[in-house]
Amino acid sequence: MNRRIVADRGDHGRRLDLVIRRHLADLPGATRTQVQGWIAGGGVTVTGRAIRRAAARVAAGDVVTVLLPAELVAGRTAMTPQDLALDILYEDEHLIAINKAPGLVVHPTYRHTEGTIMNALLWRARGWAESNRPSMVNRLDKLTSGIVIGAKTARAHAAMQRALAGERAVKEYLALVYGRVPRSRGTIDLRLRRDPRDRRRVVAATDGAPSLTRWERLGRVRAAPAGLALLKCGLVTGRMHQIRVHLAASGWPIVGDVKYGRPLWRDIADGNLRDALRGFPRQALHAWRLAVSHPMTGAPLRLEAPPPADLQRLLALTGLVECAG
C-alpha cells in the first residue's frame, strides 16, 4: 500500500525521515529506524523520484510517496479515545501542555496500544473544532516525567517544533545523579549516535550528531562514599537520551538509570538512603521547565512541572528537596 504525503510549510527544509515520521504518527510501527530502512531500500519517492538518503531535505509542496509493508498496514489499528486523567499545565486553541507522570506512555506502540497520552487527547479532542486533531510535538521516555506538548492543528505542531528548536527556547530538566560533581556549572559537548548493535541505545561517537547540554549544580550531599548531586540540565540540542548519555559519560550517572547508569547505591553507607536508591524504579529525570515564545501568538509561554511524588520523596530523603523549589 502506498501512503501519499504532501509536505507543508512545517516540513520545509526538514529531513525526509522526520517528515515521514511526522505524517505517519498514526502508525505505531513506523519508527524512525523503520522509515530509514524504507528510504534506503528504495520504497520512498519525492515528487516521483526515488530518494535513498534519509537526510535529504524536503520542500513545501513536495509529494512524498511511501510504500508501506503489507504487515504494517494489516496490523494497523486505529487509536482509541480514552477518558484518562491528565495533569494539564496549559491549554489554548492551539496547544496543550501536560505534566507526564512516570510510567505513562506518550504515544501508542505495539506494546502499549492503550492508556497513552494520545489516547487521552483523542478523547478530549471530541470537544475541539471539527478540523482539529491532536499530535505530540515532543516526547519523553516512558520512565521520564515532566512537560510534554501537544498540538491541536498541523500548523501549530510545525510552528511549535520550530520554536522549540530555536536558540531562545529554554528546556530544563532535573536530574539526581551519583558523584561529587565538583564544579558548579558546565557544558557537555559530546557527539551522539545510535548504537549500531542496539538501535534502542545511544552512544558517544566522533561521527555522531552534535549534541550540547548545559548543566548547573543545584545542590549536593556527601552520601559517602559515592556522593549525590541534583543538577539542572538545559538542552541546547534534543537528541534521543541526550541527558542520560551525557551525564553518564561525565561520570555522573542518573540514579535509577539501568540502561546507561551503574548500581552505585551499593556504595552508599547510609542504610536507609541506600535502600531508597536501590528501590527507585526509574531514571530520576524530570522535564522541569520550558520557556518559549508562543508560536502562534508570540506571547511568552513559561511552563513549570513540579516533580512527581516519587522523586519528591527521594529528594526529601537525600536532603536535596529544597533545591528543586
Between the alpha carbon of residue 185 and those of residues 182, 218, 232, 315, the distances in Å are 9, 9, 9, 20
Strand partners, 234: 172, 214
Between the alpha carbon of residue 43 and those of residues 8, 18, 32, the distances in Å are 21, 15, 14
> Which of the following is catalytic: 26, 87, 92, 141?
141
318: cell is: 537525600
Crossing angle of helices 309-318/271-279, nearest 10°?
160
Based on the residue annotation, tell me whether 195 is a catalytic residue of this protein. no
Strand partners, 146: 100, 287
Asked if 285 contacts 175 with a C-beta cutoff of 8 angstroms, the reply is yes
Give the Cα separation of 252 and 185 in Å (integer): 13
Concatenating the DSSP letter of every residue in 31-90 gives -HHHHHHHHHTT-EEETTEE---TT-B--TT-EEEEE--HHHHHT--PPPP------EEE
Burial degree of 188 (CB within 10 A; 0-12, 13-18, 19+): buried
Give the Cα separation of 35 and 58 in Å (integer): 15
- Positions annotated as catalytic residues are 141
